[in-house]
Amino acid sequence: MANSKSDCSVEARFLEAPGKTAAAADAGLAAVSTAEELAQILRTRIQKSELAPGEWLREVKLCNEFGVGRSIVRRALRALADDGLIEIEENRGACVSATTVEEVFDLYEVRAALYGLAARFACLRGSDAVIRRILEKIDILLAQAAEIAPAEQIIETSETIFSQMADCASADTQRMIEAVRRKTRFHFSYVALAINAQGPGPFEYWRKVREGLEARDAEKASQGARDILYYMQGEVARIMLARGPRLRTEPSAAQPPTSKRTPTKKRGGG
């Protein structure tokens, strides 16, 4: 289920596929052949903040850029809309969604719960060989942090570990985890977290996960995994608030009409 594997296979097909249009060739882009491939490219651009919230995705431009017909573009945009990455407006096109802090916060709550489950399932169901591979990846991640590797590189390693643990879950649980992972990777760049440059980051929690997996202590590994996501949740909320508060506003409660009373004249004039 590892997302990085599917991304790599898609990218490999892009490199091998011949260009379908001169426009795509001139732009140095390999043309895509399916809506799924196009959706993945656009999804990645949104996740990396190359397509900013509020930016319009025009069908004609996408057709020319990728050498595909409108039907493929429309199916790809519908897939992104289903993920909550874009909003489709009738007669206007598709626009990259701008989420609220609360929405992102809630998604990370769900992802933390699923991450904890993935670590728990790995402890309970993973073979010794699977556990060894996960521990090796965690050691690589900790080494990258010590070497102050780029934040994106550290995040990709952590995503691989997440996938390895999630592979121990049932097929239905894997699908739920993947859906939430897609939704929690948008509207900001992971590079912006700079987790390797500011403070200890979530690495103390990764050590807890490692200890739990090695000892087959499901509770310890699960709590460490949840704490990693809680740390990320706080960092993402901080970044979003620093860019300008975008909070969900509730409609104000209706107020009873104020009666306007005409002042009465005092008796006796005045």
Mean pLDDT, consecutive 10-residue stretches, the chain (270 aa), reads: 40 35 41 87 82 90 93 93 85 84 83 92 97 97 88 83 94 85 56 46 90 98 94 79 58 45 48
Tokens (6 digits) for 95 = 């626009």
Q: What is the pLDDT of residue 71?
A: 94
Q: End-to-end distance of the chain based on CA atoms, in angstroms?
A: 87
Q: What is the pLDDT of residue 243?
A: 65
Residue type, 112: A
Q: What is the pLDDT of residue 184?
A: 64
Tokens (6 digits) for 173 = 């649980």
What domains can be seen in the chain, in order of their start residue?
A: 3-96 (1.10.10.10), 101-242 (1.20.120.530)
Going by C-alpha positions, the residue among 81, 74, 61, 100 that lies closest to residue 187 is 100
3-class DSSP assignment, residue 175: helix
Using CA atoms of 189, 191, 196, 197 in order, give the dihedral in degrees to the nearest 10. Answer: -100
3-class DSSP assignment, residue 56: strand
Q: Which helix or strand (DSSP H or E) is residue 86 part of?
A: strand 86-89
Q: What is the pLDDT of residue 31?
A: 63
Own/partner pairs for 42-46, CB < 8 Å, 24+ apart?
Answer: 42/76, 42/77, 42/80, 42/85, 43/80, 43/83, 43/85, 43/182, 43/186, 44/7, 46/80, 46/85, 46/86, 46/96, 46/186, 46/187
Which residues, 6 or more positions from 168, have their beta carbon under 8 angstroms from its beta carbon? 118, 121, 122, 124, 125, 126, 130
Global pTM exceeds 0.75: no
Q: What is the pLDDT of residue 247?
A: 52
Q: What is the pLDDT of residue 185?
A: 61
